[in-house]
């Protein structure tokens, strides 16, 4: 339990949000595949690839959250990669005419997460200062 004592509160928040995101993707993937979680399943739809893709992404998000909780070095790297991918998506969303609120959520929040992950305290918690 030593890692729980030295884990910054922000990492715990990121972990919980990552796991929650994974659960949302999981439920959506199951719904698309025809398993009813909340509401009726989509009848007569041929979207199994989309459903399986969502289940895969759900596993990645849940894995990232567990990695954050256990302060695994790979989780820090994965978090930085996900932020980078999010910023690329934000750029293309902006080109597509996204509104100001969407642009804020898609760019500012990932930048805040990136700055947080790059802080010396967080890198030390993940053992990256050695």
Q: What is the pTM of this model?
A: 0.77
| Rg of the chain (C-alpha set) | 17
CA atoms within 13 A on the CB side of 114: 14
Least confident of 8-17, 36-45, 49-58, 99-108: 36-45
Question: 106-116: buried (b, 16+ CB within 10 Å) or exposed (e) per residue?
Answer: bbeebeebbeb
Digit-coded pLDDT (tens) for 91-128: 877 776 767 777 777 788 889 999 999 999 999 999 98
């Amino acid at each position: 339990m030593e890692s729980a004592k030295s884990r910054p509160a922000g990492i715990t928040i990121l972990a919980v949000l990552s796991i929650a995101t994974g659960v949302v993707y999981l439920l959506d993937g199951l719904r698309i595949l025809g398993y009813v979680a909340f509401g009726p399943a989509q009848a007569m739809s041929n979207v199994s690839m989309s459903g399986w893709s969502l289940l895969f992404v759900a596993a990645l998000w849940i894995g990232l959250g567990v990695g954050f909780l256990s302060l695994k070095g790979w989780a820090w790297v994965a978090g930085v990669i996900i932020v980078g991918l999010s910023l690329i998506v934000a750029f293309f969303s902006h080109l597509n005419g996204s509104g100001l609120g969407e642009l804020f959520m898609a760019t500012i929040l990932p930048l805040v997460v990136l700055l947080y992950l790059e802080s010396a305290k967080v890198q030390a918690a993940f053992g990256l200062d050695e």
